[in-house]
Chains A and B, each alone.
Chain A
Amino acid sequence: MDIALESPAVRAKRESMLRVFAEQFLSSKLAVLGLILLVLFLCLAILAPWIAPQNPFDIGTLKIMDSKLPPGSASSSGAMTHWLGTDGQARDVFSAILYGLRISLVVGLVSVSLAFAIGATVGLVSAYFGGRTDALLMRIVDIQLSFPAILVALVLLAVLGKGVDKVIYALVAVQWAYFARAARGAAIVERNKEYVQAARCMSLSWQRILWRHLFPNCIPPLMVIATIDLAHAIALEATLSFLGVGVPVTEPSLGMLISNGFEFMMSGAYWIAFFPGIALALVVVAINLVGDHLRDIFNPRNEI
């Protein structure tokens, strides 16, 4: 699991460890491509208000005669070209994608960060204390993981109702268990190493040992889980929104855009769902390519 610790890199300085990591990462062209795409999408999402040709939420600027224009056609006023067409409400699909990307990425990043914090805490506590605490916490994790994430999220949203914040809660609820399991797995190995025993001998508080000594050494496997889970979270949010229980219509994520376009697909206006779909697929695949390679680097045994 800890190739970084066993390789010569650990004996060298911190900078060279980073360099070894960078070299390892750059060795896979696919992963680099994924990273470039990911950075590009992040920039697009952050800069959306400035680069989008149209504000899709400004109802006043939308003209009904511009609705369902195929890709590449000019708007009725001739002021702009809709490179990816327009949807049923005359929104420019490209602009809608940029704004949708923002919501998808925000939901993904926030939910993964929260799940990371909760899961890592549970996992570390479980591994550090062991015994009954460990058995109980891991039993909860096992039970949770034996039910499909989509089902748990669906039920939670059925109880909570719609909303960006509620989608985030539901995603955290289904994801924390993965982090808990990974953190425990890593921490159990670390727990018995000398530096932890030394810290114990110095009678440091358990909180300090947990966060200052154990946690930093469990970060690599958790980063892998976090990357892959980000893709998972974005895909799950899109699915929930597509099913109509996710984000509200006023804050359309990529999944919501696809859902809106689905009804027009049968009549041949494929672009309304197709282009948001491509954007979603590129984001998810880019993150997965990065995550997959990170796993190869940090975990050479690469089980599944």
Chain B
Amino acid sequence: MLSSIVRRLLQTIGVVLVMSALVFAALYLIGDPVSMLASPEATEAERELIRQSLGLDLPLWHQYLIFLNKAFVHLDFGNSFLTGEPAMRLIFERMPATLELATAAMLLAVLIGVPLGIYAGLKPENFGARSVMTGSVLGFSLPNFWVGLMLIMVFAVFLHWLPAGGRGPVEAFGPIQLSVFSWEGWRSLMLPVATIATAKCALIIRVARAATRECLPLDYIKFARARGLSETRVLGVHLLKNILIPIVTIAGLEYGQVFAFAVVTETVFSWPGIGKLLIDSIITLDRPVVVAYLMLTVVFLSLLNLLVDIIYTILDPRVQSKAGA
């Protein structure tokens, strides 16, 4: 088991290196920073001086190593062109808002999606189950921003029940600011969370349904029923334990996707998270922030994939023996 984890870890490092090279190459291709920094009247000698001071006269591989060193050892991606603050600090400041949103949305999606999925898997021909499945087609085919827009229209513009955007008051919880401590904070969380949860819930329903249908005909379920166990126990313990494997995988991977997909929802609801920061930085061409965000996302998603694989190995002994062989 250890060897398979080490192998996956090495693979992850490989992916991160490849992606960082891609980001670096894109950065290199986009344009010459000297033309942006030097005044238009600068002589060639002055330009050369700037080039030297930025280390742009070094060979490409050397520049890449410097980039890697700065990025991974010092977490230094340069300062934002707009605010002058270090790009990484800007991102870390915004991160709690996105984490809060993603966590709440994933929890909601799992809490609603798993029971509905099991129900749809138990009686697939039932009218209720079919409605659930048709609903799930709607859930993941409708674009995220569309769902958000409709929620705003109904709950904020027509009914005036909930705020249309913004984060509401936040309170410090240790070093991070969270909005879950006040009713106002909850109110502003509701619509964005519902927007993300709609799509993710649809996916989890489908996964839970497929897993339920796969597990139901198996012997241990029949045996549990034959032992006269109550239906709640059969479903809640024996079935749930086994369908949790695919659900954990999907939920884990989707959690990472939500983290990045929050770009859309955060823009619709003006939620001050990292997704909104990314889109603002792309539009204002604030390159250091974009690069920092990308590198962070690459590392985060790769680690998440690794983590899901490891949990998978622990939950499902069959994977372990296969990988260990």
C-alpha gap A158/B278 in the complex (Å): 11
B153 near A143 (CB under 8 angstroms)? Answer: no
Pair B301/A245 contact, Cβ less than 8 Å: no
A128 on interface, CB distance cutoff 8 Å = no
Indicate which residue in A151, A236, A266 contacts B263 across the interface (CB closer than 8 Å).
A151
Residue A51 lies at the interface, judged by CB distance under 8 Å to chain B = no
Q: Is the CB of B26 within 8 A of A159?
A: yes
In the bound assembly, the distance between CA atoms of A238 and B149 in angstroms comes to 13
By DSSP majority rule, is chain A's interface helix, strand, loop, or mixed?
helix
Selected contact of A284 from candidates B141, B145, B149, CB within 8 Å: B141
Contact string against A for B residues 257-280, beta-carbon threshold 8 Å, 1 for contact and 0 otherwise: 100110110011000000000110
Write out the residue numbers on chain A whose beta carbons fall within 8 Å of the beta carbon of B29: 159
- For chain A residues 226-250, which have a beta carbon within 8 Å of chain B? 231, 235-236, 238-239, 242-245
A262 part of interface (Cβ distance < 8 Å): yes
Residue contact A258 to B146, C-beta cutoff 8 Å: yes
A242 and B153 form a contact (CB under 8 A) = no
Question: For residue B150, which residues in chain A have a CB less than 8 angstroms away from its CB?
Answer: 277
Within 8 A of B (CB), among A122-157: 143, 146-148, 150-151, 154-155
Residues of B within 8 A of A239 (CB): 143-145, 264
* Contact residues in A for B263 (Cβ distance below 8 Å): 150-151, 154, 243
Min Cβ gap B51→A in Å is: 22
CA distance A154 to B283 in the complex (A): 11
Is B200 in contact with chain A by the CB < 8 A criterion?
A: no
Contact B146 A281 (CB under 8 A): yes
A288 contacts B141, C-beta separation under 8 Å: yes
Asked if B142 contacts A284 (CB within 8 A), the reply is yes
A178 to chain B, nearest CB (A): 15
- Minimal Cβ-Cβ distance residue in B for A155: B294
| Number of CB contacts from chain A to chain B under 8 A | 105
Determine whether B79 belongs to the interface, using a CB cutoff of 8 Å to chain A. no
CB of B225 to closest CB in A, whole Å? 25
Bound CA span A55–B305, Å: 50
Considering only residues 158-216 of chain B, those with a C-beta below 8 Å from chain A are 158, 164, 203, 206-207, 210
Determine if A148 and B257 form an interchain contact, defined as CB atoms under 8 angstroms apart: yes
Judge if A10 is at the interface, Cβ distance under 8 Å.
no
A150 touches B261 (CB 8 A): yes
Known pairs A273-B149, A285-B137, A304-B206; A243 contacts B264 (CB<8 A): yes
Contacts of A281 in B (CB 8 A): 142, 146
Chain A residues lying within 8 Å of B142, measured Cβ to Cβ, are 235, 281, 284-285
Question: In the complex, are the beta carbons of A303 and B157 less than 8 A apart?
Answer: no
Contact of A150 among B138, B207, B264 (CB under 8 A): B264
Chain B residues in 8 Å Cβ range of A303: 210
Complex contacts, B141 vs chain A, CB 8 Å: 231, 235, 284-285, 287-288
Residues of B within 8 A of A265 (CB): 149, 152-153, 157
- B45 interface residue (CB < 8 Å to A): no
Q: Kindly state the separation between the CA atoms of A262 and B150 in the bound complex, as whole angstroms.
A: 11
Chain B contacts of A30 at CB under 8 A?
Answer: 134
- In the bound complex, what is the Cα–Cα distance between A147 and B295 (angstroms)? 12
With a cutoff of 8 Å between Cβ atoms, the chain A residues found around residue B134 in the complex are: 30
Inter-subunit contact B290/A262 (CB<8 Å): no
B278 touches A154 (CB 8 A): yes
Residue of A nearest to B282 (CB): A158
Decide yes or no whether A292 CB sits under 8 A from chain B: yes
Residue contact A266 to B264, C-beta cutoff 8 Å: no
Residue of A148, A231, A244, A258 with highest tally of chain B CB at under 10 A: A148
Q: B15 at the A/B interface (Cβ < 8 Å)?
A: yes
- What is the CA–CA distance of A166 and B149 in the complex, to the nearest angstrom? 26
Residues from chain B with Cβ under 8 Å of A215 in the complex: none
Q: How far does the alpha carbon of A30 sit from the alpha carbon of B150 in the complex, in Å?
A: 23
Smallest CB–CB gap between B234 and chain A, Å? 24
Q: Are B282 and A154 in contact (CB under 8 A)?
A: yes
Residue A218 lies at the interface, judged by CB distance under 8 Å to chain B: no
Q: Is the CB of A277 within 8 A of B149?
A: yes
Apart from the given pairs A266-B164, A284-B143, 17 other A-B contacts in the complex at a CB distance below 8 Å: A143-B18, A146-B302, A147-B297, A148-B261, A150-B260, A159-B26, A159-B29, A235-B142, A243-B279, A244-B283, A245-B283, A265-B153, A277-B149, A285-B138, A288-B137, A288-B141, A304-B207
